[in-house]
Homo-oligomer: A and B are copies of this chain.
Amino acid sequence: MQNSEERVVEANRLKEFCANVLRKLKVPHEEAEITADILVSADLRGIESHGVSRLPRYAKRLMNGWIRPEAKITVRRETPVSLLIDAENSLGQVVAYRAMERCIEKAEKSHLGFASITNGNHIGIAGYYAMMALKENMIGLCMTNAWPLVVPTFGIEPILGTNPIAFAIPAKHEHPFVLDMATSVAPIGKMEVYRRHRKPVPAGWAIDEKGDPALDAETVMRCVYKSKRGGLLPLGGLEETAGYKGYGLSLLVDILTGILSGAAYGPHVGTPEDPKPSNIGIFVGAIDVNAFTPVDEFRERMDIMINSIKASVKAKGQDRIYIHGEREWELEKQHRKTGIPLYIKVWESLRDLARQVNVEFAL
């Protein structure tokens, strides 16, 4: 199904195109593949805010020397269960991917493996790295801080990132549990999508300069990027509905990523438009289920839990209760079959980028 607002693109072709652009910008062959796979994976899973729409920004940063094209993954500190990695401003995807590989190796030998990364860049969907642990039947996790967009409880200045938390946990026959959530009510990427589609922003997602609800994406963008008063609300919203919990989760992520690694935190993380390295902090980890319980029994118990929740009584007008990640697995399956619907402006931005870097564009 194709309409004038979108172009449907085959996933592998899209991935190959992204990799070609990155290679043209001096990203080594395999590192371009990794980055492209992670970007397209977001679109496959229906998270268009973190998918190929980000490529033009990455390209601009690579062209301007604000991101280093070849990955540097310098280990500054290491134990059998932990790593401190200096990404030296490499592509976020490549560093987080390699760090997660190392965590999985550590967890295979020592049951746990956690890495904290400094001097990083935007990593795309945090869930991707957490999901890398699934093929080893491990629990994976990933967090990253991000540029300031969120107001703390009782504050009006956007000084916190949307700082996502992702966990991936294997089941047996059921889809794995994959929680991948910004610690704000909504991520800024969603606001960009709302702006594109001119959709009103629901009350409770963001506040304006006066602290009143911000009900359109333009206002939110002005607050966070121009006036620096007002912005996204932390998960929970205002104080009365426990927004201080989302604020706390955001701080927790900032501490485990920015403060633990020595990267930037909160107000100091660079925006995608800042003409300098972003210095993002990242935290990834792998947990060997077998350290606690036989993994087969664990996976069976996961299935039973998942089924009991899905079988519970639905609210009026609802016919299904979802487990986290379930919609995304289904979308991925569908998109692999029918192609990925790219919003026309995203498609155009890729076409323009292809011209700019002189890469063939046949999407």
A: which residues have CB within 8 A of B?
A: 77, 79-82, 84, 110-112, 114, 116, 151-157, 159-160, 167, 169, 177, 179, 181, 185-186, 202, 204-205, 210-211, 229, 235-237, 240-242, 244-249, 251-252, 254-255, 258-262, 265-267, 287, 289, 291-293, 297-298, 301-302, 305, 308-309, 312-316, 318, 320-324
Contacts and interface: CB of A to CB of B under 8 A. Distances in A.
Contact of A260 (B112, B202, B292): B292
Nearest to A301: B259
A116 B298 CA distance: 13
10 contacts: A82-B291, A152-B312, A155-B318, A156-B315, A179-B248, A181-B245, A185-B236, A211-B315, A247-B324, A266-B308
Contacts of A297: 262
Contact of A245 (B159, B235, B302): B235
B152 A186 contact: no
A78 to B, nearest CB: 9
B81 A240 contact: no
A324 B177 contact: no
Contacts of A261: 292-293
B305 A266 contact: yes
Q: Count chain B CB atoms within 10 A of each CB in A237, A242, A246 and give the residue with the most.
A: A242
Contacts of A265: 301, 305
Given A167-B252, A169-B255, A308-B267, A210 B316 contact: yes
B202 A81 contact: no
Contacts of A159: 308-309, 312
